[in-house]
Structure 1
Amino acid sequence: MKGIWFIAFSALVCFGASHVDVRLVSDHQVIKKGEPFQIALRMDMRDHWHTYWENPGSSGLPTTVEWQALDGLSTGKLQYPVPLRFVDAAGFVTYGYDSTTYLFTEAVYSGDAPTITIEAEVQWLECKEICIPGKAEVSITLDVGEPKQSSQFETLSKAARQIPAQHDSDVPFTYASKTQFKGTHWSGTIQVTPKTQAFNPEGATYFPGTNPYGELKSVSVQQDGDLLVFDLAYEAWEDTVPEDLNMWGVLVFGDQAYRINVHPDVGSVKAVTNHSGTKQGIGFILLLALVGGIILNLMPCVLPVLSLKVMSFIGEAGESHSRRVMLGFVYTLGIMCSFLIISGVIVGLKMTGEQVGIGFQFQNAPFVVFMIGLLFVMSLSFFGVFTINPPQSSGMTEWTMKSGPAGAFFNGILMTLLSTPCTAPLLGSAYGWAMTAPNWQLIVVFQFVAVGLALPYLALCAAPVLLRYLPKPGAWMEQFKIFLGFPLLLTVVWLLWVLGNLKGHPAVIGTLVFLTFLGLALWIAGTAQYSSKRWLGIFTALGITLLGATMGMRIQAPSRIDWVPYSETQLAQARKSNQLVFMDFTAEWCATCKFNEKLVIDSKSVRDAFTSNDVVTMKVDYTQYDPQITQMLASFDRAGVPLYVIYPGQNEPIVLPEVITKNMVIDAIETAATTRNQRSAL
């Protein structure tokens, strides 16, 4: 049982909500028209997760900010602080940030509004062993008037010192640079000469800027008298380089950083490259992908399906060697076709400009719900609630425990779907390289991962000698089949957790309601499966499933009413203004409250009544104990929720019963409106 819990809890780590929190901050709370001020994107990373610099290095994507148009607002170029250098297990070098980071831009507002809201769309790539694209809408509201510093001023001033300064006459050094090609190596040299004795070269390092013609592979720093020499070694990607190529980079000395331009030699500069380096590079990546795919069989996400494959192999022990090999190849084909589809979708999304990562389909709530339903159905099949196979067969589900060609192909698809949100050692480097490689190379890398994932089972099918190490088929397999249903249910729990992070707990509750009806439907279908009323059972099951899906979607649908959180001040102001106020005393644990909200209060007729009478809808949340709300309930002779109160302006409130109907609420609103209007006329 320890292994099962390991599957469940380890799987939770594989995939979930964003591991980076982003928000906008400013150095001024009040800005002055026409004067510059600083806006910063604050990024807070969870432990062991990182994002990327404007030059991500061997793999990765830079963080980008797209500002929404606002009349009178102009923003400058996004400025990145000095990055960290990351080296993974495969030796790939990337540049980025693994703790709280601020990306700056200078802004000027020349409009006439007294208050402005600055909005932006942020996209980034967050990586640990796997990489997940992130996206968020952020905003900040600032007043316009006499300038006033914000509470973030000192923090941002300190963070801004990490932004590399432009090299000009005021810096304490001069530099010279040159680059040249020799064979497959593109080398560069930067020579730094101090201007004063106070210049301190301690901790000197260099970060290369973006460069479409080559990748910096190594940097060495040495001192030659007064000179500080940076020797740069590149891997060339192109045979020729434009004469006017203007590269850039960042020189760092201790806590000081400077952005410099690195010019090549004047004239035609050619790289005599035989591309052997590139071939060796992709060969190494394919090896990582193959070995990583093999190791992926041991990851938590795929262990339930792997157990099913071993059981199906035991079930096929009496089959011929040629049939076992055939089933192994069909299983492999299922995995390869699935990886081909996934890589094709990634290529298509990349061509449209979208940022995607491995496991992107698990960022889609309908897909997650589909997987939850599929695994739930499989687990009920294992428990014997219903069977897919006819009664004269072995008694095990044909598509899982004893696979024919269709079952083997299906298991290959299922293995792929469950493996993509997890990764394995070496796969992170292979995936990261593939995401920035040409499209055909991305597809090839994914196919090697697929072959690696299928290889252990394929070897088991092709080597009869391994059969002696497997247990003999017998009655124990039926009990073990039931046992395997529980890891599938734990996988359902994990996917519900993923769904909750995507869409919130209403989506989880709605899905659980659907699963309850689905389980009832399958039990009815299974009970009638071999009786004369088989078709009646099937149609009844379909009706119950549709009812469950409808109720599940209704439960998770967001409220279409603009609720105002309760505050004593707002209630007093609304009543003083002679407005109608509808107060909903509710709690998340109150089933009657939720029933009334979904079926009555949020109905179209009640919403129309709210709108036509300009009703202020105020929600009083009693989910957690609040003595003030307890006193309010007692003032209406109630000990708990639900409670519905309508205030007709400054008149006496109208109290509704716990169980309400649409007509009851509408009549009460119209009565309250009449009472209010009569008072206004006096």
Structure 2
Amino acid sequence: MLRKLSFLVLSLPVFLFALGNAPASAAESQPVISSHDNATLVTDRDAVAAGDTLHVGLRLQLKPGWHTYWLNAGDAGEPPTLKVTASGAMTGQSETINFPTPVRISEGGLMSYAYTGDVLLPQALKLEGQAGGVTLKAHAEWLVCAATCVPEQGDFTLDLPAGKVAANSSAEGPLFVHAAQASPVPSPFAASLAPDGLLSLSGKGLSPASIDRAWFMPSETGIIDQVAAQKLGVSEGGLTLKLNWIDAAHKPTVLSGIVVLQDKAGQQTALWIKTSQMAAAQSAPAGPAPAEAALWRMLVFAFLGGLILNLMPCVFPVLAMKAFSLARLGGSHRHEQIRSALAYTTGVMGSFAALGVAMIVLRSVGSAAGWGFQFQSPIFVIGVAWLLVMMALNLLGVFEVTLGRIGQDVTPRHGVWGDMLTGLLAVIVATPCTAPFMGAAIAAALGGPAWAGLALFLAMGFGLASPYVAIATIPFLARHMPKPGAWMAVLKQALAFPLLGTAVWLFWVACVQRGAMILPVGLGGAVGLGLVAWLFGTTQRQAMIKGATPAVVFGRVVAVVVLVLAGISLARIDNGVAANAPVDAKAETGVVAYSPERLAALRDEGKPVFIDMTAAWCITCMVNERVALQSAPVQKAFEAQGMTYMKGDWTNRDESISAFLRAHGRDGVPLYVYYAPHKEGVVLPQILTVSGVLDAIK
């Protein structure tokens, strides 16, 4: 009772200060004000003397509904930073925040450790030098979140004169007293951690009579499942909490953080613990460590995802080309078949490796790059469309790919480089699709060590290439490939049309991204490339008959000029076309555009919500919509349940959609989540069926 009374007495000036809206004293800087909070730099005294340890802090007065974060932000968020430098007669520098105990905020399947209301993040600043006044300069960065998250920052200046005053003597002193009382204290109990995640405290004072609830908040994220229930066990002199390791995460030998003990009256005590070195499990069965087992499981998922990717609609045009390659090799020797398979596999796996490295690097610098991110660039989309047009013209016989020069060998070549190029193209056109098992594998690749991520991307690449490898290397399959013949010329020309159809789809995607004004650039460039292909093919045939004549040279020069002009127009797309608004698609009946605020409001109202995260360049998404979501039974079920059908369009980059994908362990579309009234979301498979959707929403 005495402790509570003293706390109220010490806190009274703080509340009077807030209620009275008094002007800032000499121990509080000018505020940085936003619509979410007021931020100031405060000190625990109005004057300083030589040798003082000055307590300074970032004070955040958060508006209702907003919060900022602890040392470990949890599953989402970033911890605040504060760097304070003293100059003048005395100097000093500090950037270590003594974080008070946070509260837990669980929402949408995520756990955050945060602060709300009026919070002080204090530091201790040791002053050195001769007696005299000091000037404090501070830079702080913090993240505030409600339905959305807003990064904020501020620079603060505070002048303190020379003088000998007691600690906590300023008007802001009670803030520091309150922060100290709200901070965890070193645990008097011995702490240990078992390999299975059982956290144990032992010592006098622990008993079922004194402890009603307890929970642990780790100082580092990415170690335990922070949302999972922590089963509590209490006995005389002992306490245990069962923690759940995150799959594919490194299992620590030492764990630190805050254990909060709550008695039956609701009184809480926060203890800072650091476990002793983890003992080896004496009775653990032989086998790989959990992290290694999880990595092997993810590698299997990655391989299966790449294998199933061969069945996705976006890969069909390239698979058609591989079918032609297989037919061409039907009468070849085994060593040529194997060489072709290895070249194609090298192209696929090399492309996956490059794509994986790009995504890992972009993630490391804070970008929200996910699977298929390159298709969010209209330059890339138009470039791939032009490449497909050129390959279609090649299949139609307009020109041939050769390795010779004018007047020399111009015989068409379909060797190692052609197979590698086909592998590269397969990966490029496959990225708009996401196959089953790929979502978990990609999330693990981008969330773990870089070497493990690269291994997972290589496994996906090998899965995509494996059917061709099997056909070319297994003698039984190789012997039963069809023999080459005149029919191949017809097949070759027929396969050009799937490529042209894919190019048409990509031009439509670019139109969705940048508006109708991009079509003259895209289609005009395609016509120009057709001219290049025709000139190149014509000069090829003339060179075979007459050699390097002036007409041949002139035709090649014109082709090069047109290619350069096409490249320049492609590079200027963002500068010349980006200003045009995208095509405003007519609002779909019964579809609500995704926003975090709208989703939170609907869930608060207890309404069922079906989330469809999609993109115009995602063929799997469009197939799912046409086959399942737009079917009469599903639409009738949505209407009967009063379902809100919410769609997030990731065709262009959208940070709120990227955050939603990451929160559900995905790094690409499609993603389908069903929220029943007042319940957490249920993630549906990436390939939808009518019966699957109906079963999920029941």
Secondary structure of the corresponding residue to residue 197 of structure 2: strand
Residue aligning to 1:288: 301
Residue aligning to 2:560: 542
Displacement of 1:382: 2.3
Measured against aligned partners, the alpha-carbon deviations of 1:402-445 in whole angstroms (never above 9, x if no partner) come to x4212112212222223334332112212211212222222222
2:243 is aligned, of 218, 222, 232, to 232
**1:390-429 pair list within 5 angstroms:** 403-429=414-440
Question: Are the aligned partners of 1:192 and 1:229 in contact in 2 as well (CA < 8 Å)?
Answer: no
Displacement of 1:65: 9.9
Residue aligning to 1:376: 389
Q: Which amino acid aligns with 1:291?
A: L
Residue aligning to 2:667: none
1:518 is aligned, of 529, 547, 565, to 529
**1:410-489 pair list within 5 angstroms:** 410-466=421-477, 471-489=482-500
Within 2, Cα distance between the matches of 1:352 and 1:240? 29
2:192 is aligned, of 169, 180, 198, to 180
Question: Are the aligned partners of 2:197 and 2:242 in contact in 1 as well (CA < 8 Å)?
Answer: no
Secondary structure of the corresponding residue to residue 530 of structure 1: helix
CA distance 1:238–1:103, shift in 2 (3 Å) = closer
2:74 is aligned, of 55, 60, 63, to 55
Q: Which amino acid aligns with 2:224?
A: E
Within 1, Cα distance between the matches of 2:578 and 2:310? 45
Residue aligning to 1:329: 342
CA distance 1:214–1:333, shift in 2 (3 Å) = same
Secondary structure of the corresponding residue to residue 270 of structure 1: coil
CA distance 1:180–1:407, shift in 2 (3 Å) = same
CA distance 1:104–1:505, shift in 2 (3 Å) = farther
Q: Which amino acid aligns with 1:305?
A: V
Within 2, Cα distance between the matches of 1:305 and 1:539? 31
Question: Are the aligned partners of 2:257 and 2:272 in contact in 1 as well (CA < 8 Å)?
Answer: yes
Secondary structure of the corresponding residue to residue 445 of structure 1: helix
Secondary structure of the corresponding residue to residue 398 of structure 2: coil
CA distance 1:512–1:234, shift in 2 (3 Å) = same
Displacement of 1:534: 2.6
Measured against aligned partners, the alpha-carbon deviations of 1:564-603 in whole angstroms (never above 9, x if no partner) come to xxxxxxxxxxxxxxxxxxxxxx9999xxxxxxxxxxxxxx
Measured against aligned partners, the alpha-carbon deviations of 1:152-198 in whole angstroms (never above 9, x if no partner) come to xxxxxxxxxxxxxx9999xxxxx99985333x3231369998999xx
Within 2, Cα distance between the matches of 1:286 and 1:322? 29
Q: Which amino acid aligns with 1:535?
A: V
CA distance 1:96–1:195, shift in 2 (3 Å) = closer
Displacement of 1:103: 11
Within 2, Cα distance between the matches of 1:211 and 1:290? 31
CA distance 1:519–1:260, shift in 2 (3 Å) = farther
Q: Which amino acid aligns with 1:545?
A: L
Q: Which amino acid aligns with 1:544?
A: V
Within 2, Cα distance between the matches of 1:560 and 1:276? 51
Displacement of 1:277: 2.2
Q: Which amino acid aligns with 1:311?
A: F
Within 2, Cα distance between the matches of 1:369 and 1:85? 38
Displacement of 1:319: 0.4
Gaps of 5+ in 1: 1-23, 43-52, 57-61, 70-75, 87-94, 109-119, 125-134, 140-165, 170-174, 562-585, 590-682
- Number of residue pairs matched? 444
Measured against aligned partners, the alpha-carbon deviations of 1:89-135 in whole angstroms (never above 9, x if no partner) come to xxxxxx379xxxx9989899xxxxxxxxxxx99999xxxxxxxxxx9
CA RMSD of aligned residues (A): 5.9
Question: Are the aligned partners of 1:220 and 1:231 in contact in 2 as well (CA < 8 Å)?
Answer: yes
TM-score computed with the length of structure 2 as normaliser: 0.49
Q: Which amino acid aligns with 2:554?
A: L
Residue 319 of structure 1 pairs with residue 332 of structure 2: yes
Residue aligning to 1:272: 280
CA distance 1:436–1:211, shift in 2 (3 Å) = same
Gaps of 5+ in 2: 1-32, 43-58, 67-71, 84-96, 121-140, 153-178, 405-409, 543-548, 584-698
Question: Are the aligned partners of 2:515 and 2:581 in contact in 1 as well (CA < 8 Å)?
Answer: no
2:311 is aligned, of 298, 302, 312, to 298
Question: Are the aligned partners of 2:73 and 2:79 in contact in 1 as well (CA < 8 Å)?
Answer: no
CA distance 1:513–1:66, shift in 2 (3 Å) = farther
Question: Are the aligned partners of 1:376 and 1:489 in contact in 2 as well (CA < 8 Å)?
Answer: yes
Q: Which amino acid aligns with 1:280?
A: A
Within 2, Cα distance between the matches of 1:477 and 1:55? 59
Displacement of 1:39: 6.4
1:211 is aligned, of 204, 216, 220, to 220
Aligned sequence identity (%): 26
Question: Are the aligned partners of 1:54 and 1:80 in contact in 2 as well (CA < 8 Å)?
Answer: no
Residue aligning to 2:257: 247
> Which one is further off, 380-389 or 289-298?
380-389
Q: Which amino acid aligns with 1:270?
A: M
Measured against aligned partners, the alpha-carbon deviations of 1:202-226 in whole angstroms (never above 9, x if no partner) come to xxx979656368434964657999x
Q: Which amino acid aligns with 1:247?
A: G
Question: Are the aligned partners of 1:286 and 1:430 in contact in 2 as well (CA < 8 Å)?
Answer: yes
CA distance 1:261–1:498, shift in 2 (3 Å) = farther
Q: Which amino acid aligns with 2:563?
A: T
CA distance 1:389–1:298, shift in 2 (3 Å) = same
CA distance 1:359–1:178, shift in 2 (3 Å) = farther
CA distance 1:322–1:247, shift in 2 (3 Å) = same
Q: Which amino acid aligns with 1:370?
A: G
Within 1, Cα distance between the matches of 2:578 and 2:316? 42
Secondary structure of the corresponding residue to residue 557 of structure 1: helix
Measured against aligned partners, the alpha-carbon deviations of 1:32-63 in whole angstroms (never above 9, x if no partner) come to 9x997656999xxxxxxxxxx9433xxxxx35
Displacement of 1:309: 0.8
CA distance 1:476–1:261, shift in 2 (3 Å) = farther
Within 1, Cα distance between the matches of 2:251 and 2:582? 61
CA distance 1:466–1:222, shift in 2 (3 Å) = same
Question: Are the aligned partners of 1:386 and 1:525 in contact in 2 as well (CA < 8 Å)?
Answer: yes
Displacement of 1:306: 1.5
Residue aligning to 1:678: none
Within 2, Cα distance between the matches of 1:259 and 1:366? 57
Question: Are the aligned partners of 2:344 and 2:422 in contact in 1 as well (CA < 8 Å)?
Answer: yes
Secondary structure of the corresponding residue to residue 312 of structure 1: helix
Displacement of 1:307: 1.6
Q: Which amino acid aligns with 1:55?
A: G
Within 2, Cα distance between the matches of 1:27 and 1:441? 40
Question: Are the aligned partners of 2:60 and 2:118 in contact in 1 as well (CA < 8 Å)?
Answer: yes
Q: Which amino acid aligns with 2:399?
A: F
> Which one is further off, 290-299 or 455-464?
290-299
Question: Are the aligned partners of 2:199 and 2:240 in contact in 1 as well (CA < 8 Å)?
Answer: no
Question: Are the aligned partners of 1:510 and 1:553 in contact in 2 as well (CA < 8 Å)?
Answer: no
CA distance 1:559–1:290, shift in 2 (3 Å) = closer
